[in-house]
Structure 1
Amino acid sequence: MKIAVIGGTGLIGSQVVKNLNAAGHEAVPHSKSTGVDIISGQGLDEAVAGADVVVNLTNSPTFDEASLAFFQTSMDNLLTAARKGGVSHFVILSIVGVDQVPELDYYRAKALQEKILADGPIPYSIVRATQFMEFMDAVLSWTADADTVRLPTTPLQPIASKDVAAAVAEVAAGSPLNGIHNVAGPEVFGLDELGRITLSHEGDSRTVVVDPTAGMFAVVKGDVLTDKDAHLAPTRYADWLS
Protein backbone atom coordinates (compact mmCIF):
# COMPACT_ATOMS: atom_id res chain seq x y z
CA MET A 1 0.00 0.00 0.00
CA LYS A 2 1.00 3.60 -0.51
CA ILE A 3 0.78 5.46 2.80
CA ALA A 4 1.22 9.22 3.24
CA VAL A 5 2.53 9.95 6.73
CA ILE A 6 1.83 13.58 7.60
CA GLY A 7 4.21 14.62 10.35
CA GLY A 8 6.41 11.79 9.13
CA THR A 9 9.71 13.32 10.19
CA GLY A 10 8.93 13.64 13.93
CA LEU A 11 9.47 11.35 16.92
CA ILE A 12 6.60 8.98 16.10
CA GLY A 13 6.28 9.66 12.39
CA SER A 14 9.85 8.75 11.47
CA GLN A 15 9.50 5.41 13.27
CA VAL A 16 6.11 4.72 11.65
CA VAL A 17 7.60 5.34 8.19
CA LYS A 18 10.50 3.01 8.96
CA ASN A 19 8.19 0.26 10.25
CA LEU A 20 5.81 0.47 7.29
CA ASN A 21 8.57 0.42 4.71
CA ALA A 22 10.21 -2.53 6.46
CA ALA A 23 6.88 -4.35 6.15
CA GLY A 24 6.87 -3.83 2.39
CA HIS A 25 4.62 -0.78 2.11
CA GLU A 26 5.44 2.49 0.38
CA ALA A 27 5.35 4.98 3.25
CA VAL A 28 6.25 8.56 2.37
CA PRO A 29 6.98 11.16 5.10
CA HIS A 30 5.54 14.66 4.72
CA SER A 31 6.08 17.74 6.90
CA LYS A 32 6.86 21.42 6.65
CA SER A 33 10.44 20.46 5.86
CA THR A 34 9.23 18.60 2.75
CA GLY A 35 6.99 21.48 1.63
CA VAL A 36 3.68 20.40 3.17
CA ASP A 37 1.78 22.88 5.36
CA ILE A 38 -1.42 21.53 6.87
CA ILE A 39 -2.63 24.97 7.99
CA SER A 40 -2.22 26.85 4.71
CA GLY A 41 -2.87 23.69 2.68
CA GLN A 42 0.33 24.10 0.68
CA GLY A 43 1.46 20.80 -0.83
CA LEU A 44 -1.36 18.73 0.69
CA ASP A 45 -3.05 17.66 -2.53
CA GLU A 46 0.25 16.45 -3.94
CA ALA A 47 1.21 14.69 -0.69
CA VAL A 48 -1.92 12.52 -0.51
CA ALA A 49 -2.55 12.00 -4.23
CA GLY A 50 -2.62 8.28 -4.98
CA ALA A 51 -2.27 7.26 -1.34
CA ASP A 52 -4.33 4.39 -0.01
CA VAL A 53 -3.90 5.56 3.58
CA VAL A 54 -3.19 8.89 5.27
CA VAL A 55 -1.63 8.85 8.75
CA ASN A 56 -1.79 12.22 10.48
CA LEU A 57 0.80 12.56 13.26
CA THR A 58 1.05 16.35 13.33
CA ASN A 59 0.63 18.19 16.59
CA SER A 60 -0.37 21.63 17.74
CA PRO A 61 2.58 23.94 18.52
CA THR A 62 0.84 24.95 21.77
CA PHE A 63 -1.19 23.19 24.47
CA ASP A 64 -3.50 26.15 25.13
CA GLU A 65 -6.83 27.23 23.64
CA ALA A 66 -5.14 27.93 20.28
CA SER A 67 -4.76 24.17 19.81
CA LEU A 68 -8.50 23.93 19.09
CA ALA A 69 -8.16 26.11 16.00
CA PHE A 70 -5.06 24.19 14.92
CA PHE A 71 -6.83 20.84 14.87
CA GLN A 72 -10.00 22.25 13.31
CA THR A 73 -8.12 23.84 10.40
CA SER A 74 -5.59 21.05 9.88
CA MET A 75 -8.22 18.30 9.89
CA ASP A 76 -10.52 20.22 7.55
CA ASN A 77 -7.65 20.69 5.12
CA LEU A 78 -6.39 17.13 5.37
CA LEU A 79 -9.83 15.53 4.97
CA THR A 80 -10.59 17.71 1.95
CA ALA A 81 -7.31 16.74 0.30
CA ALA A 82 -7.71 13.07 1.22
CA ARG A 83 -11.22 12.91 -0.22
CA LYS A 84 -10.05 14.49 -3.48
CA GLY A 85 -7.12 12.09 -3.58
CA GLY A 86 -9.27 8.98 -3.20
CA VAL A 87 -7.82 7.97 0.19
CA SER A 88 -9.67 4.99 1.69
CA HIS A 89 -8.32 5.00 5.27
CA PHE A 90 -7.40 7.91 7.55
CA VAL A 91 -5.48 7.32 10.81
CA ILE A 92 -4.72 9.70 13.68
CA LEU A 93 -2.85 9.37 16.97
CA SER A 94 -4.68 10.55 20.08
CA ILE A 95 -4.58 10.12 23.88
CA VAL A 96 -6.16 7.50 26.14
CA GLY A 97 -9.00 9.15 28.09
CA VAL A 98 -8.86 12.34 26.01
CA ASP A 99 -12.63 12.79 26.05
CA GLN A 100 -12.79 12.69 29.86
CA VAL A 101 -10.72 15.78 30.69
CA PRO A 102 -12.61 18.83 29.34
CA GLU A 103 -10.73 21.01 31.84
CA LEU A 104 -7.62 20.82 29.63
CA ASP A 105 -7.67 22.89 26.44
CA TYR A 106 -5.32 20.48 24.68
CA TYR A 107 -7.40 17.42 25.56
CA ARG A 108 -10.52 19.20 24.32
CA ALA A 109 -8.64 19.98 21.10
CA LYS A 110 -7.63 16.35 20.59
CA ALA A 111 -11.21 15.24 21.30
CA LEU A 112 -12.32 17.71 18.64
CA GLN A 113 -9.82 16.20 16.21
CA GLU A 114 -11.29 12.75 16.86
CA LYS A 115 -14.84 14.03 16.32
CA ILE A 116 -13.95 15.74 13.05
CA LEU A 117 -12.42 12.50 11.79
CA ALA A 118 -15.32 10.31 12.94
CA ASP A 119 -17.88 12.66 11.38
CA GLY A 120 -15.90 12.93 8.14
CA PRO A 121 -16.30 11.18 4.79
CA ILE A 122 -13.40 8.70 5.00
CA PRO A 123 -13.18 5.34 6.84
CA TYR A 124 -10.90 5.91 9.81
CA SER A 125 -8.94 4.56 12.75
CA ILE A 126 -7.96 6.33 15.96
CA VAL A 127 -4.96 5.07 17.92
CA ARG A 128 -5.04 6.33 21.49
CA ALA A 129 -1.84 6.05 23.52
CA THR A 130 -0.88 6.87 27.09
CA GLN A 131 1.88 9.37 27.89
CA PHE A 132 5.22 8.89 26.11
CA MET A 133 8.22 7.96 28.22
CA GLU A 134 10.24 10.41 26.12
CA PHE A 135 8.24 13.33 27.53
CA MET A 136 9.08 12.76 31.20
CA ASP A 137 11.91 15.31 31.30
CA ALA A 138 9.57 17.94 29.86
CA VAL A 139 6.87 17.09 32.40
CA LEU A 140 9.38 17.44 35.24
CA SER A 141 10.56 20.81 33.94
CA TRP A 142 7.09 22.36 34.12
CA THR A 143 7.06 22.59 37.93
CA ALA A 144 10.75 22.49 38.84
CA ASP A 145 13.13 24.92 40.47
CA ALA A 146 16.73 24.58 41.61
CA ASP A 147 15.91 22.34 44.56
CA THR A 148 12.53 20.67 44.04
CA VAL A 149 10.14 19.24 41.47
CA ARG A 150 6.47 19.54 42.41
CA LEU A 151 4.26 16.76 41.08
CA PRO A 152 0.79 15.37 41.73
CA THR A 153 0.22 11.67 42.40
CA THR A 154 -1.82 11.26 39.19
CA PRO A 155 -1.37 7.69 37.89
CA LEU A 156 0.29 7.35 34.49
CA GLN A 157 0.93 4.27 32.36
CA PRO A 158 3.90 5.50 30.30
CA ILE A 159 4.66 4.00 26.90
CA ALA A 160 7.81 4.06 24.78
CA SER A 161 7.53 5.93 21.48
CA LYS A 162 8.75 2.85 19.59
CA ASP A 163 5.74 0.91 20.91
CA VAL A 164 3.38 3.73 19.91
CA ALA A 165 4.89 3.76 16.43
CA ALA A 166 4.49 -0.01 16.13
CA ALA A 167 0.80 0.26 17.05
CA VAL A 168 0.19 3.09 14.57
CA ALA A 169 1.95 1.22 11.76
CA GLU A 170 -0.03 -1.95 12.46
CA VAL A 171 -3.34 -0.10 12.41
CA ALA A 172 -2.41 1.86 9.28
CA ALA A 173 -1.63 -1.34 7.41
CA GLY A 174 -4.94 -2.92 8.38
CA SER A 175 -8.57 -2.30 7.57
CA PRO A 176 -10.24 0.83 8.95
CA LEU A 177 -11.52 0.31 12.49
CA ASN A 178 -14.08 3.11 12.33
CA GLY A 179 -13.30 3.24 16.02
CA ILE A 180 -10.50 3.39 18.60
CA HIS A 181 -7.49 1.20 19.38
CA ASN A 182 -5.99 1.88 22.84
CA VAL A 183 -2.36 1.17 23.62
CA ALA A 184 -0.59 1.68 26.96
CA GLY A 185 2.63 0.91 28.74
CA PRO A 186 2.80 -2.23 30.90
CA GLU A 187 3.13 -0.48 34.29
CA VAL A 188 1.22 2.12 36.29
CA PHE A 189 3.09 4.73 38.35
CA GLY A 190 2.08 7.78 40.30
CA LEU A 191 3.55 10.81 38.54
CA ASP A 192 5.48 11.70 41.70
CA GLU A 193 6.96 8.19 41.75
CA LEU A 194 7.93 8.47 38.07
CA GLY A 195 9.62 11.74 38.89
CA ARG A 196 11.72 10.18 41.64
CA ILE A 197 12.72 7.23 39.44
CA THR A 198 13.70 9.54 36.59
CA LEU A 199 15.69 11.97 38.73
CA SER A 200 17.52 9.13 40.46
CA HIS A 201 18.49 7.56 37.13
CA GLU A 202 19.80 10.90 35.87
CA GLY A 203 21.78 11.55 39.06
CA ASP A 204 19.64 14.61 39.79
CA SER A 205 19.59 15.44 43.50
CA ARG A 206 16.42 17.53 43.45
CA THR A 207 13.58 16.42 45.73
CA VAL A 208 10.11 15.51 44.46
CA VAL A 209 7.43 17.24 46.50
CA VAL A 210 3.85 16.02 46.19
CA ASP A 211 1.64 18.91 45.09
CA PRO A 212 -1.89 18.03 43.92
CA THR A 213 -2.15 21.37 42.08
CA ALA A 214 1.14 21.21 40.14
CA GLY A 215 1.30 21.03 36.35
CA MET A 216 -1.04 20.00 33.57
CA PHE A 217 -1.79 16.56 35.00
CA ALA A 218 -3.10 18.00 38.28
CA VAL A 219 -6.61 18.28 36.80
CA VAL A 220 -6.58 14.80 35.30
CA LYS A 221 -8.76 12.36 37.21
CA GLY A 222 -7.00 9.25 38.42
CA ASP A 223 -8.97 6.81 36.28
CA VAL A 224 -8.60 8.30 32.81
CA LEU A 225 -4.97 7.71 31.86
CA THR A 226 -5.26 3.94 31.86
CA ASP A 227 -7.78 1.79 30.04
CA LYS A 228 -8.78 -1.75 30.93
CA ASP A 229 -9.19 -2.58 27.24
CA ALA A 230 -5.84 -1.16 26.16
CA HIS A 231 -3.27 -3.30 24.42
CA LEU A 232 -0.25 -3.42 26.74
CA ALA A 233 3.06 -2.63 25.05
CA PRO A 234 6.19 -4.58 26.08
CA THR A 235 8.70 -1.88 27.09
CA ARG A 236 9.01 -1.25 30.82
CA TYR A 237 10.14 2.14 32.11
CA ALA A 238 13.32 0.88 33.77
CA ASP A 239 14.35 -0.87 30.56
CA TRP A 240 13.65 2.27 28.54
CA LEU A 241 15.73 4.37 30.95
CA SER A 242 18.60 1.94 30.56
Structure 2
Amino acid sequence: MKIVIIGGSGLIGKKLANLLRQQGQDVLAASPSSGVDTLTCAGLAEALKGAQVVIDTSNSPSFEEKAVLNFFETSAGNIARQEIAAGVQHHVALSVVGADRMSSGGYMRAKVAQESIIKASGVPYTIVRATQFYEFLSGIADVSQQDGSVWLPPALMQPMAADDVAAALRDVATAKPANGVVEVAGPEKLPMAEIVKRALTAKHDPRPVVSDPGARYFGYAIDDHSLIPGGPNPRIAPTRFDDWLRKTA
Protein backbone atom coordinates (compact mmCIF):
# COMPACT_ATOMS: atom_id res chain seq x y z
CA MET A 1 0.00 0.00 0.00
CA LYS A 2 1.35 3.41 -0.95
CA ILE A 3 1.18 5.90 1.92
CA VAL A 4 2.18 9.54 1.49
CA ILE A 5 3.24 11.48 4.58
CA ILE A 6 2.83 15.23 4.18
CA GLY A 7 5.39 16.83 6.48
CA GLY A 8 7.48 13.70 6.21
CA SER A 9 10.71 15.45 7.20
CA GLY A 10 9.37 16.65 10.57
CA LEU A 11 9.59 15.13 14.04
CA ILE A 12 6.47 12.99 13.73
CA GLY A 13 6.75 12.41 10.00
CA LYS A 14 10.19 10.80 10.25
CA LYS A 15 9.17 8.52 13.11
CA LEU A 16 5.96 7.55 11.33
CA ALA A 17 7.75 6.78 8.07
CA ASN A 18 10.11 4.40 9.88
CA LEU A 19 7.22 2.59 11.60
CA LEU A 20 5.29 2.15 8.37
CA ARG A 21 8.33 0.95 6.44
CA GLN A 22 8.92 -1.65 9.15
CA GLN A 23 5.46 -2.98 8.24
CA GLY A 24 6.48 -3.21 4.60
CA GLN A 25 4.41 -0.24 3.43
CA ASP A 26 5.44 1.81 0.40
CA VAL A 27 6.06 5.20 2.04
CA LEU A 28 6.71 8.55 0.38
CA ALA A 29 7.84 11.25 2.80
CA ALA A 30 6.73 14.50 1.17
CA SER A 31 7.87 17.96 2.20
CA PRO A 32 9.17 21.17 0.59
CA SER A 33 12.70 19.80 0.95
CA SER A 34 11.71 16.85 -1.25
CA GLY A 35 9.98 19.07 -3.81
CA VAL A 36 6.39 18.79 -2.53
CA ASP A 37 4.78 22.07 -1.47
CA THR A 38 1.14 21.95 -0.38
CA LEU A 39 0.81 25.75 -0.50
CA THR A 40 1.80 26.08 -4.15
CA CYS A 41 0.82 22.52 -5.15
CA ALA A 42 4.33 22.01 -6.57
CA GLY A 43 4.95 18.25 -6.82
CA LEU A 44 1.74 17.39 -4.98
CA ALA A 45 -0.17 15.66 -7.78
CA GLU A 46 2.84 13.51 -8.67
CA ALA A 47 3.42 12.58 -5.02
CA LEU A 48 -0.19 11.44 -4.54
CA LYS A 49 -0.35 9.40 -7.74
CA GLY A 50 -1.24 5.82 -6.82
CA ALA A 51 -1.54 6.58 -3.09
CA GLN A 52 -4.19 4.82 -1.03
CA VAL A 53 -3.53 6.78 2.19
CA VAL A 54 -2.33 10.32 2.86
CA ILE A 55 -1.21 11.36 6.35
CA ASP A 56 -0.84 15.08 7.00
CA THR A 57 1.62 15.81 9.81
CA SER A 58 2.67 19.20 8.43
CA ASN A 59 2.81 22.37 10.48
CA SER A 60 2.82 26.06 9.71
CA PRO A 61 6.26 27.72 9.62
CA SER A 62 4.67 30.80 11.24
CA PHE A 63 2.34 30.99 14.24
CA GLU A 64 1.23 34.54 13.41
CA GLU A 65 -2.57 34.44 13.31
CA LYS A 66 -3.17 35.28 9.64
CA ALA A 67 -0.21 33.25 8.42
CA VAL A 68 -1.12 30.09 10.30
CA LEU A 69 -4.76 30.28 9.18
CA ASN A 70 -3.67 30.74 5.57
CA PHE A 71 -1.29 27.80 5.81
CA PHE A 72 -3.81 25.28 7.12
CA GLU A 73 -6.73 26.45 4.96
CA THR A 74 -4.70 26.59 1.75
CA SER A 75 -2.81 23.38 2.41
CA ALA A 76 -5.92 21.39 3.39
CA GLY A 77 -7.81 22.59 0.33
CA ASN A 78 -4.99 21.78 -2.07
CA ILE A 79 -4.44 18.34 -0.57
CA ALA A 80 -8.15 17.51 -0.72
CA ARG A 81 -8.45 18.45 -4.39
CA GLN A 82 -5.42 16.37 -5.35
CA GLU A 83 -6.62 13.43 -3.22
CA ILE A 84 -9.92 13.38 -5.09
CA ALA A 85 -8.11 13.43 -8.42
CA ALA A 86 -5.79 10.61 -7.31
CA GLY A 87 -8.56 8.46 -5.78
CA VAL A 88 -7.06 8.48 -2.27
CA GLN A 89 -9.08 6.21 0.03
CA HIS A 90 -8.12 7.57 3.47
CA HIS A 91 -6.91 10.96 4.65
CA VAL A 92 -5.38 11.08 8.14
CA ALA A 93 -4.63 14.43 9.77
CA LEU A 94 -2.73 15.19 12.95
CA SER A 95 -4.54 17.82 15.01
CA VAL A 96 -4.61 18.99 18.63
CA VAL A 97 -6.70 17.92 21.63
CA GLY A 98 -8.72 20.93 22.74
CA ALA A 99 -8.61 22.71 19.39
CA ASP A 100 -12.40 22.80 19.20
CA ARG A 101 -12.61 24.28 22.71
CA MET A 102 -10.09 27.08 22.06
CA SER A 103 -10.99 28.04 18.51
CA SER A 104 -11.59 31.77 19.04
CA GLY A 105 -8.31 32.69 17.38
CA GLY A 106 -4.68 31.88 16.71
CA TYR A 107 -3.32 28.40 16.10
CA MET A 108 -6.34 26.49 17.39
CA ARG A 109 -8.70 28.41 15.11
CA ALA A 110 -6.48 27.47 12.18
CA LYS A 111 -6.50 23.78 13.14
CA VAL A 112 -10.31 23.80 13.39
CA ALA A 113 -10.45 25.40 9.94
CA GLN A 114 -8.21 22.63 8.61
CA GLU A 115 -10.44 19.99 10.20
CA SER A 116 -13.57 21.55 8.66
CA ILE A 117 -12.08 21.41 5.15
CA ILE A 118 -11.13 17.77 5.65
CA LYS A 119 -14.62 16.84 6.86
CA ALA A 120 -16.28 18.59 3.90
CA SER A 121 -13.90 17.24 1.24
CA GLY A 122 -15.67 13.97 0.56
CA VAL A 123 -12.46 11.97 1.06
CA PRO A 124 -12.81 9.32 3.82
CA TYR A 125 -10.85 10.61 6.79
CA THR A 126 -9.68 10.23 10.35
CA ILE A 127 -8.61 13.25 12.40
CA VAL A 128 -6.18 12.33 15.17
CA ARG A 129 -6.18 14.93 17.92
CA ALA A 130 -3.10 14.49 20.09
CA THR A 131 -2.10 16.18 23.32
CA GLN A 132 1.12 18.18 23.65
CA PHE A 133 4.39 16.33 23.05
CA TYR A 134 7.00 15.88 25.79
CA GLU A 135 9.52 17.04 23.19
CA PHE A 136 7.88 20.49 23.03
CA LEU A 137 7.79 21.31 26.74
CA SER A 138 10.93 23.45 26.45
CA GLY A 139 9.25 25.35 23.63
CA ILE A 140 6.27 26.06 25.88
CA ALA A 141 8.73 27.51 28.38
CA ASP A 142 10.34 29.69 25.71
CA VAL A 143 7.10 31.40 24.70
CA SER A 144 6.00 31.77 28.33
CA GLN A 145 9.11 33.58 29.57
CA GLN A 146 8.91 37.05 31.07
CA ASP A 147 11.83 38.83 32.73
CA GLY A 148 13.85 35.63 32.96
CA SER A 149 11.11 33.53 34.56
CA VAL A 150 8.66 31.11 32.95
CA TRP A 151 5.05 31.93 33.85
CA LEU A 152 2.61 29.07 33.37
CA PRO A 153 -0.81 28.09 34.70
CA PRO A 154 -1.27 25.09 37.01
CA ALA A 155 -3.96 23.70 34.69
CA LEU A 156 -3.76 19.99 33.98
CA MET A 157 -2.34 18.65 30.74
CA GLN A 158 -1.86 15.07 29.54
CA PRO A 159 1.22 15.17 27.29
CA MET A 160 2.71 12.25 25.41
CA ALA A 161 5.88 11.10 23.68
CA ALA A 162 6.34 11.78 19.98
CA ASP A 163 7.06 8.06 19.48
CA ASP A 164 3.58 7.30 20.80
CA VAL A 165 2.01 9.91 18.51
CA ALA A 166 3.67 8.25 15.52
CA ALA A 167 2.50 4.81 16.66
CA ALA A 168 -1.08 6.05 16.95
CA LEU A 169 -0.95 7.53 13.44
CA ARG A 170 0.47 4.28 12.06
CA ASP A 171 -2.40 2.29 13.56
CA VAL A 172 -5.05 4.73 12.35
CA ALA A 173 -3.59 4.94 8.84
CA THR A 174 -3.64 1.17 8.37
CA ALA A 175 -7.22 0.83 9.67
CA LYS A 176 -10.51 1.84 8.06
CA PRO A 177 -11.38 5.55 8.05
CA ALA A 178 -13.32 6.60 11.14
CA ASN A 179 -14.87 9.60 9.38
CA GLY A 180 -14.52 11.28 12.73
CA VAL A 181 -12.09 12.28 15.46
CA VAL A 182 -9.77 9.99 17.44
CA GLU A 183 -8.14 11.47 20.56
CA VAL A 184 -4.75 10.29 21.85
CA ALA A 185 -3.10 11.33 25.10
CA GLY A 186 -0.39 10.44 27.56
CA PRO A 187 -0.98 8.22 30.60
CA GLU A 188 -0.80 10.99 33.24
CA LYS A 189 -2.61 14.23 34.01
CA LEU A 190 -0.07 16.70 35.39
CA PRO A 191 -0.08 20.44 36.13
CA MET A 192 1.50 22.35 33.26
CA ALA A 193 3.81 24.46 35.42
CA GLU A 194 5.04 21.37 37.24
CA ILE A 195 5.78 19.25 34.20
CA VAL A 196 7.55 22.08 32.37
CA LYS A 197 9.67 22.71 35.47
CA ARG A 198 10.64 19.04 35.60
CA ALA A 199 11.54 19.09 31.91
CA LEU A 200 13.76 22.16 32.35
CA THR A 201 15.43 20.73 35.45
CA ALA A 202 16.28 17.52 33.60
CA LYS A 203 18.03 19.64 30.93
CA HIS A 204 19.86 21.70 33.58
CA ASP A 205 17.92 24.76 32.44
CA PRO A 206 18.09 27.25 35.36
CA ARG A 207 15.03 29.31 34.46
CA PRO A 208 12.58 29.48 37.38
CA VAL A 209 9.01 28.40 36.66
CA VAL A 210 6.22 30.37 38.31
CA SER A 211 2.83 28.68 38.67
CA ASP A 212 0.23 31.40 38.15
CA PRO A 213 -3.50 30.68 37.63
CA GLY A 214 -3.70 33.87 35.56
CA ALA A 215 -0.91 32.89 33.18
CA ARG A 216 -1.87 31.98 29.64
CA TYR A 217 -0.93 29.16 27.30
CA PHE A 218 0.00 30.62 23.88
CA GLY A 219 -2.42 33.42 24.67
CA TYR A 220 -5.28 31.17 25.75
CA ALA A 221 -6.85 31.15 29.21
CA ILE A 222 -7.08 27.46 30.13
CA ASP A 223 -8.46 25.30 32.93
CA ASP A 224 -8.14 21.65 33.95
CA HIS A 225 -10.29 20.53 31.00
CA SER A 226 -8.84 22.59 28.13
CA LEU A 227 -5.95 20.29 27.18
CA ILE A 228 -7.46 16.98 28.33
CA PRO A 229 -9.33 14.64 25.96
CA GLY A 230 -13.02 15.46 25.92
CA GLY A 231 -14.31 12.33 24.19
CA PRO A 232 -15.44 9.12 25.91
CA ASN A 233 -12.76 6.71 24.67
CA PRO A 234 -9.38 8.37 24.07
CA ARG A 235 -6.42 6.21 23.17
CA ILE A 236 -3.97 6.33 26.09
CA ALA A 237 -0.29 6.10 25.15
CA PRO A 238 2.06 3.94 27.25
CA THR A 239 5.11 6.17 27.83
CA ARG A 240 5.13 7.87 31.22
CA PHE A 241 6.86 11.22 31.61
CA ASP A 242 9.53 10.02 34.06
CA ASP A 243 10.44 7.13 31.75
CA TRP A 244 10.74 9.51 28.80
CA LEU A 245 12.93 11.86 30.86
CA ARG A 246 15.29 9.03 31.84
CA LYS A 247 15.57 7.99 28.22
CA THR A 248 16.20 11.44 26.78
CA ALA A 249 17.97 13.43 29.51
Both proteins in one fold, TM over 0.5 = yes
TM-score w.r.t. length of structure 2:
0.92
Contact between 2:102 and 2:220, CA under 8 Å: does it hold in 1? no
AA of the residue aligned to 1:222:
D
Deviation at 1:146, TM superposition (A): 6.7
Aligned partner of residue 224 in structure 2, secondary structure: coil
The alignment partner of 1:126 has SS state of: strand
Report SS of the residue matched to 2:126: strand
Say which of 212, 216, 221 aligns to 2:218.
216
- Find the aligned partners of 2:124 and 2:24 in 1 and give their Cα distance: 22
Give the Cα–Cα distance (whole angstroms) in 2 for the partners of residues 209 and 218 of structure 1: 17
Give the aligned partner of residue 181 of structure 1. Answer: 182
- C-alpha contact (below 8 Å) 1:12/1:161 kept by paired residues: yes
Is this contact kept in 2: 1:152–1:218, CA < 8 A? Answer: no
> What letter matches 2:167 in structure 1?
A
Alignment match, 1:3? 3
Say which SS state the counterpart of residue 183 (structure 1) adopts: strand
What is the alpha-carbon distance in structure 1 between the residues aligned to residue 116 and residue 54 of structure 2?
17
Which residue of structure 2 aligns with residue 127 of structure 1? 128
User: Offset at 1:63?
Assistant: 2.2
Cα displacement (A) at 1:217: 6.1
Residue 224 of structure 1: SS of its match in structure 2? coil
Count of aligned positions: 242
CA-to-partner distance for each residue in 1:48-73, whole Å, 9 max, x for gaps?
A: 00000111111111223221111111
Q: Could you tell me which amino acid in structure 1 is paired with residue 172 of structure 2?
A: V
The aligned counterpart of 2:20 is: 20
Partner amino acid, structure 2, of 1:188: K
> Within 5 Å, which residues of 2 pair with 1:24-39?
24-39=24-39
User: Displacement, 1:191?
Assistant: 0.9
Distance in 2, Cα, partners of 1:102 & 1:203: 35
Task: Give the aligned partner of residue 42 of structure 1.
Answer: 42
Which residue matches 2:65?
65
Query: For residues 161-172 of structure 1, what are the structure 2 equivalents within 5 Å?
Result: 161-172=162-173
Q: What's the counterpart of residue 78 of structure 1?
A: 79
Residues 76 and 147 of structure 1: CA distance in aligned 2, closer, same or farther (over 3 Å): closer
Contact 2:144 2:218 in 1 (8 A): no
CA deviation string 1:66-92 (max 9, x = no partner): 211111111111111111111111110
Q: Deviations over 1:98-143 (max 9, x none)?
A: 1011234110110111111011121001111000110011111112
Q: Deviations over 1:170-222 (max 9, x none)?
A: 11111111011111000111111112212222223332112322441651332
Extract unaligned runs of 5+ from structure 2: none
The unaligned stretches of length 5 or more in structure 1 are none
| Secondary structure class of the residue paired with 2:91 | strand
Correspondence for 2:208: 207
Cα RMSD after superposing both structures: 1.5
